[in-house]
Amino acid sequence: MFYPNLLFMLSAFIVLAIIIVVFSILATRRYHSRLNANSGSMENNSIPLMAAATVLGIGIGGFIDGIVLHQILQWHEMLTNKLPADTLVNKSINMFWDGIFHLFTLITTIVGVFLLWNLLHKKTINTSKYLLWAGLSMGWGLFNLVEGIIDHHLLKLHNVREWSTSQELWNHGFLIFGLLLIILGWYWQKKGASIRSPFRPEV
C-alpha cells in the first residue's frame, strides 16, 4: 500500500509541481514571443523575474510552513488528523512524511534559484526589486491555497492547529492569508512593472 499512499499524500505537491511546470513554460514562451515582437526595442520585460520568483516563493512558502508550523510551533505534522502523533510509531511516521514534504520544498527552491540564475543570460529584463517581492509573495500565497485546499479541506490530512477547538477557523485563516499574499504580490507586480530598469545586453 506504500505507493498508492504515496500518490495520495503527495497530491498537493503534484498539483503544485504541475503548476510550476506549466507556469514556467508559459512564462518562457510569452517572454520569447514578446521579445520577437519587440526586437530591437529596449522594453523592460517583467515576465522572467516574476516567473522565477513565483517558483522560488512556492518553495520558500513550503519551508516556512514546514519549519515554523511543523517543527518550531508543532501545531501539526503531515498526517496528524489521520494519525495523531501521540505514540513513538505515529510520531516517526509523521516525521517521515514531513521529510517528504521538505524534500519537495527543497527541490522547488532549487528550481527557483536556477530560474533566477538563468536570467543572467536574458536581455531586456526588468530587474525591479518589487517584481522579486511580488513573485515571492504570490508563490507563497499559491502554496497556501493549494496545500490548504487539498490537505486541510479535501483530504483532511491535518489541520493548521491540530489541538485547537476552532480547527476550521485556523484552516480558513490559512487560506485567507494566502489570498492576502497574492493580492500583495499583485500590487507589487503592478508597481514593479512600471519601473524602467537599465537595459542589459544579452550575455
In the chain, what are the domain boundaries? 2-36+45-193
- With cut-offs at 50, 70 and 90, classify the pLDDT of residue 9: confident
C-alpha angle with apex 72: 110 to 89, nearest 5 degrees? 95
C-alpha angle with apex 120: 134 to 30, nearest 5 degrees? 60
- With cut-offs at 50, 70 and 90, classify the pLDDT of residue 3: low
pLDDT of residue 121: 76
Check pLDDT > 70 for residue 53.
yes
pLDDT for 163-197, tens place per residue?
A: 999 999 999 999 999 999 999 999 999 999 887 65
Q: End-to-end CA distance of the chain: give it in Å, rounded.
A: 51
All 3 cell numbers of residue 91? 510520531
Check: CB of residue 98 under 8 Å from CB of residue 69: no
CA-CA-CA-CA dihedral for 105, 27, 12, 68, to nearest 10: 40
What's the rounded Cα separation, in Å, for the pair 70 and 77? 5
7 class by beta-carbon count within 10 Å (0-12 exposed, 13-18 middle, 19+ buried): exposed
